[in-house]
Amino acid sequence: MATGALGVSARNTPAPAALGGVGFDLASRLILDVGAGLSLIYFDQRFETSRLAPPRRTWSSSAELVVGLGYELSPRAYVTLEGALQAYVLPMFTAETRTDDVRAAFAWRTALGAGTRF
Q: Confirm whether 5 is domain-assigned.
A: no
Q: Confirm whether 44 is domain-assigned.
A: yes
- What pLDDT score was predicted for residue 112? 95
pTM reported for the whole predicted model: 0.63
Q: Provide the residue range defining the domain that includes 81.
A: 10-116
Question: Nearest to residue 81, comparing CAs of 92, 68, 72, 94?
Answer: 68
Quick: pLDDT tens for 1-29: 333 343 444 455 555 555 667 777 777 78
Q: Confirm whether 92 is domain-assigned.
A: yes
Q: Confirm whether 3 is domain-assigned.
A: no
Q: Confirm whether 4 is domain-assigned.
A: no
- What pLDDT score was predicted for residue 7? 43
Quick: pLDDT tens for 67-96: 999 999 998 999 999 999 999 898 877 777
Looking at the 3D structure of the chain, how many domains does it have? 1
- What pLDDT score was predicted for residue 86? 93
**Cβ proximity of 12 and 60 under 8 Å:** no
Q: Confirm whether 2 is domain-assigned.
A: no
* Cα–Cα distance list, 38 to 89, 96, 98 (Å): 11, 31, 30
